[in-house]
Structure 1
Amino acid sequence: MENIYDIVIVGAGPAGMTAAIYAIRANMRVLLLDRLSPGGQMINTNEVENYTGAGRLSGADLAIKMFEHTQELGVAFDYKTVVDIAVGDAVKTVTCEEDATTYKTRAVILATGTVPRRLNVPGEAKWAANGISWCAICDGAQYRGRDVVVIGGGNSAVEEAIYLAGICTRVSIVTLFDLTADPKACDRLRSMPNVSVYPYQDVLEFTGEERLAGVRFKSTREDATECLVTCDGVFEYIGLQACSEAFARLGILDRSGCIEVDARMRTRVPGIFGAGDITVKHLRQIVTACADGAVAANSAASYVESLR
């Protein structure tokens, strides 16, 4: 008889690793796949202070702890880049880029997450996760009483800037257009005494030698005036990009590329589940990703049992 996994989990971030833990404890035969080191976006976070019970630790340390937990339970793991998923009546085929490797499975949990869109300007790569962050809730506390710059003018940028203005000495908003968030949120942000807004600006570079020192930007209007704002940290909010290219033909994505799921993490394709940041959701945090993974594993295990 052909060797078939009960559940293949694509993506080894907090959602995928939690799903693996719950699935194997449900006596499922589980395979966890990721093209990179386990941890997902966690490994790009200097400090995590809001994961219940863990206290303060680095994202990389938390990722290691989660992965070690999966290995203690015997979860099979492999470094693979999934490029396609074919859906059969009861068995799915997961195809990987490396040597066109394929895996047969009864259920699939997709937990490949998102990556922040980047500006791709000088200094960004140098200070990424060491001065430049993409999550104020995760990293904002380390800039308490200091000066920060928020790049972007949408809902995420404005909401996070309001949060940062409550703990930072000065918050500067640099946006390519004007503030485009909800009007009430924009009014609240503009009314805060320690907030400055620089609309219609194009970011040119992030400056600094030993540490991040500032942001240089230029007006998009006719005068093309350049400005340099000094700061201790930067938070970028210019959008997220779902890592969902391999799943496009399954018909489970919304217009932004995120996976549409119900409360039990089920997609519209039987046997295909989503979890974590790649799903359509409001709050993207480590703890919410873990919760998604637990729910997805429970639903996937129930689905597998229904096939037997």
Structure 2
Amino acid sequence: MKKVQLGDTDLQITPIIFGGNVFGWTLNEEESFNILDAFVENGFNAIDTSNNYSHWVKGNVGTESEKIIGNWIKSRGNRDQVIIATKVGGRNLVQEKYNNTKAHIIKEIEESLIRLKTDYVDLYQTHYDDTVTPVEETLSAYNQLIKEGKVRYIGASNFSSERLKESLDKASLFNLPSYKTLQPEYNLYDRQRFEEFLQPVAEKYNLGVIPYYSLASGFLSGKYKSEEDLEQSPRGERVKNYLNERGFQILAALKILSEKYNVSYAALSLAWLLKQKTIVAPIVSATTKTHLAAFSEALNLELSHDDVQLLTEASRY
């Protein structure tokens, strides 16, 4: 399968990244292994996780996703065949606030490496900006980790455009590592914040954008068309805000193209993302092998300019 360069790095990834938030949540370890096996068998190679997935599940400690991925890597012996991205700085059960201090990052990478059963991560991302810690302190932690060989590249997620730009500028000013990627919320429905504020920064600084919630928590798969449908999945409650006139307008446009190309709504939604400037690879989760089919569909789909415009106009904000 064709690979693409991830921003200004030498990481070569397939243009869809598996979102590891489902591991330890809607998938147990055995099910996670099966879906990861199918993912790489289909030619994909990049997996995104965090040191606090999935803390929202009752009974979890919040490190289940990294543990499952680590156990899978060890059992398959395939560390050199996959690109692993994880995050630091988000809340978990014992940490009430975002924390991007140098001491915290240095501590957390060691624990993530143990869970992932590896001695390095390919992409280490600041999960949330704590807005208190100076950006140069955070970057100095990454500088140490890169020099030690524990981290190859760094990325940012959930930043304001102002703090993202400050981080990039100070990296240059103080000769510190610079963020190479940006992981924002972005999909056909949730467009405005990224397009108006973050995309211009990503374009100016050549950041590789890897958006999360690429299918709007499953809404863009067409699975949810009424409040009754929300009961189908643990993620259903998150979809309620999409059940409005604009949301239904998007689904109507997806229906037209789905019938035209005989592909899934999910594939079309991902294909639209891949046509947007600065987007390198959407992050998407899957819980069945059937869901994985949409990944390949999206990469094989050649949307015309008119197709892209149809979806863009239907999702106008």
TM-score calculated relative to the size of structure 2: 0.27
Give the helix-richer structure, 1 or 2.
Answer: 2
Higher relative CO (Cα under 8 Å, sequence separation at least 6) belongs to 1
Give the strand-richer structure, 1 or 2.
Answer: 1
TM-score calculated relative to the size of structure 1: 0.28
Look at both structures and tell me which one has the larger radius of gyration over its CA atoms. 1
